[in-house]
Amino acid sequence: MDEDSKEAYVKLTDGNYSIESFCSNCELSEDDVFSGILHGFTVKNVIKDFNTDYGIDKKSR
In which band, very low, low, confident or very high, does the pLDDT at 2 lie, cut at 50, 70 and 90? low
**What integer best gives the mean pLDDT of the chain?**
76
In which band, very low, low, confident or very high, does the pLDDT at 34 lie, cut at 50, 70 and 90? confident
- Sequence-distant (6+) residues with CB within 8 A of 25 are 6
In which band, very low, low, confident or very high, does the pLDDT at 55 lie, cut at 50, 70 and 90? low
Side-chain half-sphere exposure of 58, counting CA atoms within 13 A: 8
